[in-house]
């Protein structure tokens, strides 16, 4: 895909997401949050959905969980702007409740398109909702920290940074898992 095609595809998808009314979340959102970054590193990260700060700014992971994500990325020398960061649902569920099946269903084609356009070699799923998008039957505690091949990519499930903020045991596990990402990016190059 030429860089012109790439930009126009991304811009058009972003505008569609920003004006989406497919589920009721559009009624309570301030701003939809399509995602940010470039996947230049070959890495994409998928969270759950925007929270209060993300809904206000229209950008993913800008609150406390985002600060932790930034710290973990800097520990492994990956620039945030070189990884594409998005969410399973692009609009904030009221009071940060879990996304409903209908909301997940209406929003998932956007994620599918983003994956096609950015074509990352490694996808890190942050938390159980993005894990379920790829592997509905798996639980996060049983597969986190393991690389799983799917459609020529590596899916790497980890705990959600918000869970790590609540529990120091999860924080240490998340940190250890993050430190495996650089070698996954290298090994995926050889395929
Ligand atoms: N949590 C998420 O899952 N996504 C965000 O964008 C922010 C917090």
Q: Which CATH number fits domain 3-189: 2.20.28.270, 3.40.50.360, 1.10.3720.10, 3.40.470.10?
A: 3.40.470.10
Per-residue burial over 36-59, b = 16 or more CB atoms within 10 Å of its CB, e = otherwise: bbebebbbbbbbbbbbebbbebbb
Q: Which atom of ligand 1 is nearest to the CA of 87?
A: 4
> Domain extents for the chain?
3-189
SS3 122: strand
Atom of ligand 1 lying closest to residue 129 CA: 3
Residue in this structure with the two tokens 């120091």, named with its chain if needed: 168
Q: What is the dihedral of CA 97, 110, 12, 70, to 10 degrees?
A: 60
Among left, alpha and beta (phi > 0; psi -120 to 50; other), residue 152 is left
Q: What is the DSSP string of 29-87?
A: -SS----B---TTSEEEEES---HHHHHHT-SS-SHHHHHHHHHHHHTT--GGGEEEEE
Mutation choice for ligand 1 from 52, 53, 60, CB with most ligand atoms inside 8 A: 60
Å from CA of 130 to ligand 1 middle: 11
Task: Kindly give the distance from the C-alpha atom of residue 50 to the centroid of ligand 1, in angstroms, as a whole number.
Answer: 5
Q: From ligand 1's centre to the CA of 87, what distance in Å? A: 7
Strand, helix or coil for residue 90: coil
Write out the chain's pLDDT in tens, 191 residues. Answer: 788 888 899 999 999 999 999 999 999 999 999 999 998 999 999 999 999 999 999 999 999 999 999 999 999 999 999 999 999 999 999 999 999 999 999 999 999 999 999 999 999 999 999 999 999 999 999 999 999 999 999 999 999 999 999 999 999 999 999 999 999 999 998 55
């Amino acid at each position: 895909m030429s860089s012109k095609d790439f930009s126009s595809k991304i811009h058009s998808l972003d505008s569609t997401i920003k004006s989406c009314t497919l589920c009721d979340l559009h009624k309570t959102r301030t701003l939809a949050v399509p995602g940010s970054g470039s996947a230049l590193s070959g890495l994409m990260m998928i969270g759950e959905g925007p929270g209060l700060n993300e809904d206000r700014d229209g950008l993913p992971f800008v609150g406390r969980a985002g600060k932790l994500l930034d710290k973990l990325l800097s520990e492994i020398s990956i620039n945030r702007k070189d990884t594409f960061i998005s969410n399973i649902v692009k609009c904030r569920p009221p009071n940060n409740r879990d996304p409903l099946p209908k909301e997940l269903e209406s929003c998932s084609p956007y994620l599918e398109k983003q994956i096609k356009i950015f074509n990352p070699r490694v996808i890190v799923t942050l938390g159980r909702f993005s894990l379920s998008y790829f592997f509905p039957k798996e639980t996060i505690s049983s597969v986190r920290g393991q690389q799983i091949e799917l459609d020529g990519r590596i899916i790497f499930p980890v705990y959600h940074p918000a869970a790590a903020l609540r529990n120091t045991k999860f924080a240490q596990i998340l940190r250890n898992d993050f430190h495996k990402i650089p070698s996954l990016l290298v090994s995926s190059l050889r395929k």
